[in-house]
Amino acid sequence: MSTAAAGQPIVSNALTTLSEEEELFRASVREFAEGEVKPKVEEMEHNGKLDAGIIRQCFELGLMAIESPEEYGGAGSTIFNAILAIEELARVDASVSVFVDVHNTLVTNAFMRWANDEQKKKYLPQMAESRVGAYALSEAGSGSDAFALKTRAVEKDDHYELTGQKLWITNGNEAEIFIVFATLDPSAGYKGITAFIVEKGFEGFSVGKKEDKLGIRASSTTELILDGCKVPKENVLGEVGKGYKVSIETLNEGRIGIGAQMVGIAQGAFEAALGYTAEREQFGKSINNFQAVQFQLAEMAVEIEAARLLVYNSARLKDAGKPFLKEAAIAKLYSSRVAEKVSSVAIELFGGYGYVKEYPVEKFWRDSKIGAIYEGTSNMQLQTIAKLITK
């Protein structure tokens, strides 16, 4: 095993090896998740809304600016630390996890990569301190075919006017800063798409209905309505006509975050099953004494470890500045399958209790399903992997 400078990751053959700093960070997030988030999970799930105090604490603890540079109020840390936070939060509640995930791996990441100096100075400190970010790409007819979007941007004297509707926007209710994609020239296809920084208070902007979802129910998933929304020209993110590049490169990192969320969900379900099978007695002994149950638990442990290694590997590659597109797609695809499988087996191990909301595992299963859908469906991940291994 090689050594590393203070605060730098220790590189070894074991991808799950963490530096002392990373171990401390993971422990601090777990303490927050167990002590502050867990007591409010049931209430947030019932209300379909994140607790305002939890949102405030996420900012106060620096969880909303993990990768953001220190000069803008952030921690100046790594994508690896970001996924540690996402994983630990998802182990307790996937809704809080995706709230932190989208703000960091999509919105802040896009600003860091594409914003000019003035935009960074204006918005990154706000997003580190109190203002939530959201990422608005999807539309009714633009999901996997992301560049089929219909939202139109029209250039005026000193601003653009955006008109259209966005769907499935995570953090829609909480966010005040949105990255919105629109096309200036539909005839140009993907080359006409531009990314815009839109504030909640801009004229012509409003948040529509909140979706009533199967899982991650406390996370707001909303529509956005742009009715001649006036966006100053200085709020173009990146170059005009290069929105497709902004979206593709940002989502590549975002998939690592979703992979971490899925690993956290699987871990939470596994730990619940492990505890229950040790306590539940049938035929005069705890059910974890039966080989059939032991083998199921062992299979769950194997699958989770494999998923975690894939996610950690893609994050380490990204932090090292190496290609990670294929690895991120594999990690998201596999971890979403693992989360769904492990949480489903956990329900079965709980028996009838697993099917009722009084026990935690049915929520882990409901929360897991979105992993195969958002930030690139499983079929789109397979397409990406296939292209990269056959080119």
Q: Which residues are catalytic?
A: 375
Give the C-alpha distances (Å, rounded to integers) separating 293 from 27, 296, 299, 304, 379: 30, 5, 10, 17, 32
Rounded (5°) CA angle 377-338-45: 80
Helix, strand, or coil (residue 264): helix
Report how far residue 150's alpha carbon sits from residue 145's, in angstroms, rounded to the nearest whole number.
12
Q: Per the structure block, which two tokens stand in for 86?
A: 């996402």
Give the C-alpha distances (Å, rounded to integers) separating 333 from 86, 330, 389: 17, 5, 15
> What does R_g of the chain's alpha carbons equal in angstroms?
21
Q: Residue 6, Cβ neighbours under 10 Å: how many?
A: 7
Q: Residue 289, Cβ neighbours under 10 Å: how many?
A: 14
Half-sphere exposure of 6 (CA within 13 A, CB side): 0
Q: In the chain, what's the furthest Cα-to-Cα distance?
A: 80
Closest listed residue to residue 45, CA positions, set 219, 208, 270 = 219
Q: Residue 157, Cβ neighbours under 10 Å: how many?
A: 5
Q: Residue 49, Cβ neighbours under 10 Å: how many?
A: 17
* Amino acid symbol at 256: I
- Pairing mode of beta strands 281-282, 193-199: unpaired
Closest listed residue to residue 277, CA positions, set 355, 356, 349 = 349
* Amino acid symbol at 350: F
Report how far residue 113's alpha carbon sits from residue 36's, in angstroms, rounded to the nearest whole number.
33
Q: What is the torsional sign of CA 359, 362, 364, 366?
A: negative
Report how far residue 336's alpha carbon sits from residue 195's, in angstroms, rounded to the nearest whole number.
29
Q: For the chain, how many residues are written?
A: 391
Contact 266, 304 (CB under 8 A): yes
